[in-house]
Homo-oligomer: A and B are copies of this chain.
Amino acid sequence: MRLASKPVGLPAIASHDLVSQIARALTDAIIAGRLAPGAKVAEAAIARELGVSRAPVREAARLLESQGLLVAIPSRGFFVRTHAPADIDDLYDLRICIEKHAAVQAAARLTPEGRIALRRQLDVLYETAATNDPARQVEEDYRFHRLICEMSGNRRLLRLFDDLASELRIVIGLIGRLYDDPHRIAQTHEPLLESIENGDTAHILAAFEYHLTDPWRGVAQLVATLATARSKPTEPTA
């Protein structure tokens, strides 16, 4: 008799993959600000703190470097990337470019389910606006935009968006502080959803151009002032 010939519902063992775990730990530390921009990421220190050897730490660092969170300077090690205002502009410019494209594609292949999913996520955004949890609000905001990229059907584009987001997340937390009213943030997403449901390309492009660039002006200014405020040249990005 065939005892175990059928799946019995065992969850896959989480691969105790050190590298990705370390990468996440570092990412968290960077986002949380415990590793400040420009700070040196000493392999030995990290390895000691995590109780592992340097090899996986190095690989994790390279991973984060490819994501733009760290920069490697030969023979000197890894440093938390300092974003010059121009860099952030570039990043955001790229994000807009990507997301507009995604939105157009998503609209072209919009299904009833997709429409519902977008609406739902937007509702979630309203809900979290009620709570006083800025981190959550940023997260749900991100997920709305990510959902659009997902619905573009272009998986490579989605991956790119995630990469850009991990870079932007360091900065994007600032956006939430621009408006005191998170409810208004949710509202600004309405035209986006509307334009996708509408389906007109020019309409979509305009809506996203506006929604994305408008709040950005404030952030850019804020970043610029912050940059000049602590005008301590930490690490040259070049």
Bound: A99/B101 CA distance, A:
12
A66 nearest in chain B by CB position: B66
| Residue A97 interfacial (CB < 8 Å) | yes
Q: Which residue of B lies closest to A59 (CB)?
A: B62
Chain B residues with CB under 8 Å of A101's CB are: 93, 97
Contacts of A67 in B (CB 8 A): 66
CB–CB B97/A15 < 8 A? no
Q: Is the CB of A45 closer than 8 A to any CB of chain B?
A: no
In the complex the two chains form, what is the Cα distance from A160 to B59 in whole Å? 21
Q: Is the CB of A157 within 8 A of B93?
A: yes
The minimal Cβ–Cβ distance linking A83 to chain B, given in whole angstroms, is: 10
User: Can you offer 11 A-B residue contacts whose CB atoms are under 8 A?
Assistant: A15-B75, A17-B74, A62-B63, A62-B66, A66-B66, A90-B156, A93-B154, A94-B154, A94-B156, A94-B157, A97-B101
Nearest-CB residue, chain B, relative to A167 = B156
A170 CB–B CB distance under 8 Å: no
Within 8 A of B (CB), among A130-173: 154-157, 160
Complex: chain B residue closest to A64, CB-CB: B66
Instruction: Please tell me if A91 contacts chain B, counting CB pairs below 8 Å.
Output: yes
CA distance A174 to B74 in the complex (A): 37
Chain A 87-139 residues near chain B, CB threshold 8 A: 87, 90-91, 93-94, 97-98, 101, 105
Q: How far is the CA of A156 from the CA of B101 in the complex (A)?
A: 18
Provide the residues of chain B in CB contact with A62, threshold 8 Å. Answer: 59, 62-63, 66
Chain B residue with Cβ nearest A86: B155
CA distance A87 to B158 in the complex (A): 12
Distance between Cα atoms of A164 and B25 in the complex (Å): 28
* Mask of A67-90 contacts with B, CB within 8 angstroms, 1/0: 110000011000000000001001
* Measured CA separation A207–B238 after assembly (Å): 34
| Minimum Cβ distance to chain B for residue A88 (Å) | 9
